[in-house]
Structure 1
Amino acid sequence: MFSVSLAHATPEPVSIPAGGLSSSPAPLVAHLFQPDAPGPHPAVVMVHGCGGAYAKDGALNARHQMWGEYLASQGYLALMLDSFSSRGLKQICTQKYSERMLKEADRVGDAYAALSWLRQQSGIDAMHIGLLGWSHGGGVTLDVIRRKPANMLEGFSAAVSFYPGCTTRNKKAASFKPYAPLLILIGEADDWTPAASCVALTNTARAQGAVMQIVTYPGAYHDFDHPGLSKIRLRADVPNGVNPGKGVHTGPDPVAREDAKRRTLEFFAGQLK
């Protein structure tokens, strides 16, 4: 177990300029979790899923708070990036993929705007910055890690993607060539973003020389790492998934969550420290 200080538990709100990288019409909102020890520190940019960054009370949701605290307690500066508020959005989970005004590819610039901003801050190890995303943000992570902006010489050093959508990407697997080490973590029972496509995508990428890993968790569903969920439930309000119109299952798996935390920490330690 780890202990979290008050500094970790209360992230600092910051503003990220679009800087010509992001399509956001206004500066992006973000929340900064800082380690106690003096820097320079490696950093991790975190990108949320289709539900946004916040709980119903307006605070960061339990998953993002947990991960921010956890990474800060292990010596990383963690930046929780909000792609929705500056665009007037709260959530897009209940929208069909074809009707979403904000696609995963549209958020790629957000991640690079955050990367550029972090590199200008004191106390940051500018050459060791990772990316961590969930679901819609997991797909953003896959898009980010396969291409850098033309005017950016160095991209992210490593990336972790929780339960991204791989089905469409797997249809063009030959062109998926991540430029940095990549780890995918996904539940085998996931009926929102199925694991099989991610396994196939990983196998193709590895065959082409990519430094890419995948871990699948038997019996685990979408959102398996979310500490704020108490049980598996059917989300009938989600029109996408393996069975469109029939809803998707989400829910916690404490064993998988703890394993994923351990693997994420080991992965980032190997790439960012």
Structure 2
Amino acid sequence: MRLASLLFAACIPTAHASEQISIPTAGISSSPEPLVAHLYKPATPGPHPAIVMLHGCGGMYGSKGAVGARQKMWGEFMASQGYESLVLDSFTSRGIKEVCTIKFGERTLKEADRVGDAYAALAWLRQQTDIDAKRIAVLGWSHGGGVTLDTITRKPKAVTTEGFKAAVSFYPGCTARNKRADGFHPYAPLLLLIGESDDWTPAAPCKELAASVAARGEPMSIVTYPDSYHDFDNPGITSKRVRKEVPNGVNPGQGVTTAPNPEAREDAKKRVLAFFAEQLK
């Protein structure tokens, strides 16, 4: 019985360790230098569908300099399911460590400035022989979630090829976008996931935006999680915390809340997997 179990386990595809690579800006991204990225590959032979992953305002890395727990978890998880996952670093090439503690109006790098990064990564992936060029999606968290919303609604002028096939955005800021909902038009299916208790990027404007877009018959859906805060899917967070050093949020100056929700995280993984299975056929 034990031998059979071991043989079964040996047949389950596992993800390789990530490989650090350099992404040329290709005249698309505003980055002054090539972009750093970490690529997670399936153990099975390609060509594979792929996902460009965009980090939040805290950057790509954790406190010890390794890829942050959230990005690592999602990169490994999606690779184990047959997707190549390219976790893209928008900060290092620009000399930025983080922007979470900077007021919106004082940030030198806006979400819209990172759209070119996503398309530079898309161009690079399409040149790889083990990637299915017609099955590439984009996924982002928080600041990167906002980048995802911008990415899936417009393409840089330098991009003349087809865009992303689908997009997933975790807890982006929707307030300003909801005020201009008439101009928000996803060109591919978009799934948004957010906690109902989020006081950093509130859920209500995202729900209103999704309702407006869906009412026009355009491809946007939303999942909200009760009793869940910002970063609910981050396995590197072990307890609820109020981040007083963050000047933005629902109550500027009072800090924002981050907290894990393992149940919501596991549900999100299933939903994202089902969404990509459907949209990247």
Letter in 2 for 1:81: L
Does structure 2 conserve the Cα–Cα contact (< 8 Å) formed by 1:4 and 1:69? no
Counterpart residue number, 2:242: 234
Quote the offset at 1:4 in angstroms.
7.2
1:162 aligns with 2:179: no
Counterpart residue number, 2:68: 61
> In the alignment, which of 26, 31, 38 is matched to residue 38 of structure 2?
31
CA–CA separation in structure 2 for the residues paired with 1:123 and 1:228: 31
Greater Rg over alpha carbons, structure = 2
1:247 aligns with 2:255: yes
1:101 aligns with 2:98: no
1:143 aligns with 2:150: yes
Quote the offset at 1:209 in angstroms.
1.7
Quote the offset at 1:225 in angstroms.
0.1
- How many pairs are equivalent? 270
Does structure 2 conserve the Cα–Cα contact (< 8 Å) formed by 1:41 and 1:76? yes
CA–CA separation in structure 2 for the residues paired with 1:249 and 1:234: 4
The DSSP-based 3-state class of the residue aligned with 2:124 is: helix
Q: What do the CA deviations read for 1:33-57 (whole angstroms, capped 9, x no partner)? A: 0001110000000000000010111
1:194 aligns with 2:205: no
The DSSP-based 3-state class of the residue aligned with 1:262 is: helix
Map 1:1-273; keep pairs closer than 5 Å.
5=14, 7-8=15-16, 10-150=17-157, 151-273=159-281
Q: CA RMSD in A?
A: 1.1
CA–CA separation in structure 1 for the residues paired with 2:110 and 2:271: 28
CA–CA separation in structure 1 for the residues paired with 2:223 and 2:44: 32
CA–CA separation in structure 1 for the residues paired with 2:154 and 2:98: 26
TM-score by length of 1: 0.97
Letter in 2 for 1:20: G
Aligned-pair identity (%): 66
Q: What do the CA deviations read for 1:137-195 (whole angstroms, capped 9, x no partner)? A: 00000000001233323000000000000000000000000000000000000000000
CA–CA separation in structure 2 for the residues paired with 1:272 and 1:21: 24
The DSSP-based 3-state class of the residue aligned with 1:109 is: helix
Question: Which structure 2 segments of 5+ residues have no match?
Answer: 1-8
Question: Which structure 1 segments of 5+ residues have no match?
Answer: none
In structure 2, the CA distance between the partners of 1:59 and 1:4, relative to structure 1 (3 Å rule), is farther
TM-score by length of 2: 0.94
The DSSP-based 3-state class of the residue aligned with 2:74 is: helix
The DSSP-based 3-state class of the residue aligned with 2:85 is: strand
CA–CA separation in structure 2 for the residues paired with 1:56 and 1:218: 29
CA–CA separation in structure 1 for the residues paired with 2:160 and 2:45: 28
